[in-house]
């Protein structure tokens, strides 16, 4: 088991140091961790290295009545976003520090929509923000809904309690 110790600052965040703990390993592992390790960049790097992830995905915030980002069809290649009611809008090019893409559903699209109460309370319509690696995070949420994944995670999660900031790597000997 690899245990992270608490430290201050973004450079010491769990997701920022996790790869350093595995950088000399040559075999693939089952990586067990809580949602603090669920950043898109870390997921991408661990998957690229061939590891199997049992990392609890971060929960999506629901809008006023219940729709989350995963309820929208986002086609990054076609630059479109379609809401649960079937309205479509343009997905703008990446911008800002985090290279996020935004899509605005106008007040005209939302005001008469029968699903509006489950989507937004904003008078100006709904804004959807798409982040790089969205597909990877969405796949993680879908994977976490699988009963087999849930059973594996529950079986091993006691080794990665957030109180000790301890991600576990099956296949390594326990540290003293």
Mapping DSSP to helix (H, G, I), strand (E, B) and coil, where does residue 87 land?
Answer: coil
Distance CA 81, CA 86 (A): 9
Q: What is the DSSP letter of 86?
A: S
List, in sequence order, every residue forming a beta bridge with 33; answer none if it has no partner: 55
Closest CA to 42 of 70, 22, 66, 63: 22
Predicted model pTM: 0.68
Enumerate the domain spans of the chain: 10-59+135-170, 69-132
- At residue 8 the predicted structure's pLDDT band, cuts being 50, 70 and 90, is low
Q: Residue 10's pLDDT is what?
A: 61
Q: Could you report the per-residue pLDDT of 47-72, keeping only the tens digit for each? A: 998 988 888 888 887 766 678 888 99
Q: Could you report the per-residue pLDDT of 85-135, keeping only the tens digit for each? A: 999 999 999 998 888 999 999 999 999 999 988 888 888 888 999 888 888
């Amino acid at each position: 088991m690899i245990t992270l110790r608490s430290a201050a600052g973004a450079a010491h965040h769990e997701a920022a140091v996790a790869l350093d703990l595995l950088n000399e390993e040559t075999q693939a592992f089952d990586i067990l961790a809580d949602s603090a390790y669920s950043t898109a960049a870390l997921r991408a790097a661990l998957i690229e290295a061939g590891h199997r992830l049992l990392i609890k995905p971060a929960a999506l915030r629901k809008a006023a009545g219940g729709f989350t980002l995963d309820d929208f069809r986002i086609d990054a290649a076609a630059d479109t976003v379609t809401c649960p009611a079937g309205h479509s809008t343009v997905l703008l090019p990446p911008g800002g520090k985090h290279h996020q893409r935004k899509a605005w559903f106008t007040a005209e699209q939302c005001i008469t929509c029968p699903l509006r109460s489950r989507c937004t309370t904003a008078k100006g319509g709904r804004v959807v923000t798409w982040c790089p690696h969205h597909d990877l995070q969405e796949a993680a949420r879908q994977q976490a809904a699988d009963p087999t994944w849930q059973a594996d995670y529950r079986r091993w999660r006691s080794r990665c309690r957030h109180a000790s900031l301890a991600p576990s790597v099956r296949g390594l000997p326990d540290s003293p």
